[in-house]
Structure 1
Amino acid sequence: MLDIAEELGRWLEEGRDFAVATVVGTSGSAPRGPGAALAVDRAGAAIGSVSGGCVEGAVYDLCRQALADGTTVVERFGYSDEDAFAVGLTCGGVIDIMVAPVRAGSPAGRVIAAAVSDAAGARAAALVRVVRGPARLLGRALLVRPDGSYEGFLGGQAELDRTALAEAGALLDLGHTGTVDLSEDGSRCPGGLTLLVESRLPPPRLIVFGAIDFAAALVRAGRFLGFHVTVCDARPVFATRARFPEADEVVVDWPHRYLRSTATDGRTVLCVLTHDTRFDVPLLEAALRLPVAYVGAMGSRRTHADRDRRLREVGLSEGELARLRSPIGLDLGARTPEETALSIAAEIVAARRGGTGLPLTGSGGPIHGASLRPVTPGPPGRGGSGLLARAGWAGVAAEDRVDAGRE
């Protein structure tokens, strides 16, 4: 539900009643993961999606029914070979969807309003709801914040709420959304009820170093992917709001000095487009020693070889150098700034989600990867870290022609 927080926040401010359908479980090649939501108000307006189109019509009708009768239900949608006309997922997967009415002034409505307000305001929060269990508890909501404060209750025994708070806090720390099985008295054993914990963290940061034409295209791609985008360059004539109107921040500073002073974490992406050893060597020396998700640097293979030599001279280890993705991006044959930004964005998504970067045609693997979560840095390996390294993916670098003539 928190993936449509901004729109739901407006509905709640306007006092609208609505029903929200949320994916609460998946198996097989499901198109959307737990937490994906579709909401419908009394006027019939709809926002969000639970399946990419496969079952939206049937879920829309369930939302209208929930608004009419005030009942929370959980429905399963899958693929049926026996009935070719049945509503289901053509991809062959199975999704469980909870459909719940939300009234603006109700206890659950107040908790959900607070949760979507936090999420829309880029404040970390976790929304806990009972998605399987006794009918009296189904749909109950609890909001948990990083400082341990909370709103709402699940309505069972006190131990249930205490356990739910602890489980939600652990998932929120990781930024994960998922289900937790508990007994009704709160003990950590399956069979009694299931909680869906939706975690929402502030947007991850994408910091683009180098105020060049390729940076403007990458800023647009980063915003599209949901990053908070910063452009940094030491040259005030180039690092201007007029040149980068879509960036969240434009900073005039020496890149390595700014990187050492700004906040980064395990979800931060750093893209070095400076093409100048005065900037990129001290910058990469700092960047490759930070526990960030991704560090990439633009340049031809000749530029990379020279940069690699200089970084070794300043003392970077083999493990630290192995984290650098250079030349940056996947090999798409990119030439224009927009195509190059797409190449870089594709590699960032692959690193974040554990993808291979290979064509799906002929791959034989699942289209929707099993690991739909941010990848935290792991033991470095050539071409990547975390899931990519463990999967043995060696890293696919962009061809020299992407940066031809810009050594």
Structure 2
Amino acid sequence: AKNAGFEVNVIDDRESYANRERFPEAKEVIAQDFETAMAKLTLSESSYIVIVTRGHRDDMRVLRWAVQTPARYVGMIGSKRKTITIFRELVKDGLAPELFDRVHAPVGLDIGAITPEEIAVAITAELIAVRRHAERALPHMSWFKSRANTEPLSEDFSASEHTEEKPR
């Protein structure tokens, strides 16, 4: 993302992952619990957030914070099933369903990426598409919103209908 003109900040609660050796070009590398680290960030309408944590619970904690920021872009890695589960849990916790309208999940353009490097390219391509207003390249949550006459976050929504996984 840095080579595409994005300022990169890395946050992880594990120093073995969030360190200068792994991310020498990052503007900032923060190895602290997510809540403490997120409180240090000043975000604006030109900020982009990519959520790639080690698991469902951490993704949910970070997404809860991210959807309430002014960030222009919020993307989260993970399956459609995981996305639906996280959205539902956050709505049950009191977040408005509309907050998730701008979330790109699974994050990255669908270019058939498999390796970590290819996935990074797919994610960066999506960031560029958002920056350049290339709407035709951004299907983001169309799979989630395309169910006619169904509230996607309602209890009767069947996540099992959306388990097809594609490489990004």
TM-score (norm 1): 0.34
Partner of residue 48, structure 2 = 269
Say how many residue pairs are matched. Answer: 145
Q: Is residue 254–residue 279 contact of structure 1 (8 Å, CA) maintained in 2?
A: no
- Structure 1: 5+ residue stretches without partners: 1-221, 359-381, 385-398
1:401 maps onto 2:166 in alignment: yes
| Separation of aligned partners in 2, 1:260 and 1:249 | 14
Partner in structure 2 of residue 241 of structure 1: 20
For residues 336 and 357 of structure 1, do their structure 2 counterparts lie closer, same or farther at Cα, with a shift above 3 Å needed? farther
Deviations 1:207-256 (A, max 9, x none): xxxxxxxxxxxxxxx11111221110001222221122222221111223
Residue in structure 1 matched with residue 146 of structure 2 by the alignment? none
% same residue: 34
Distance 1:308 1:231 in 2: 24
- The within-5 A match list for 1:8-407 is 222-358=1-137, 383=141, 400-402=165-167
Contact 1:295 1:324 in 2 (8 A): yes
Once the two structures are superposed, residues 64-102 of structure 1 have per-residue CA deviations (whole angstroms, 9 ceiling, x without a partner) of: xxxxxxxxxxxxxxxxxxxxxxxxxxxxxxxxxxxxxxx
- Say which structure is richer in strand: 1
| Cα contact 2:49–2:73 (8 A) shared by 1 | yes
How many angstroms apart in 2 are the aligned matches of 1:228 and 1:243? Answer: 16
RMSD of equivalent CA atoms: 2.1
User: More relative contact order in 1 or in 2 (CA 8 Å, sep 6+)?
Assistant: 2
Q: Which amino acid is the alignment partner of residue 402 of structure 1?
A: P
- 2: CA distance, partners of 1:357 / 1:341: 20
Distance 1:247 1:344 in 2: 16
Gapped regions of structure 2 (runs ≥ 5): 143-163
Distance of 1:311 and 1:235 partners within structure 2: 25
Considering fraction of residues, name the structure with more helix. Answer: 2
2:157 counterpart residue number = none
In structure 2, the CA distance between the partners of 1:383 and 1:256, relative to structure 1 (3 Å rule), is farther
Residue equivalent to 2:153: none
Secondary structure, counterpart of 2:135 in structure 1: coil
Runs of 4+ in 1 over 2 A off after TM superposition: 399-403
| Equivalent in the alignment of 2:152 | none
Instruction: Report how far residue 341 of structure 1 moved.
Output: 1.1
**Cα shift at 1:383:** 4.0
Query: Would you say the 8 A contact 1:281–1:311 is kept in 2?
Result: yes
How far apart, in 1, do the equivalents of 2:35 and 2:87 lie? 17
The 2-side partners of 1:345 and 1:289 are apart by 22
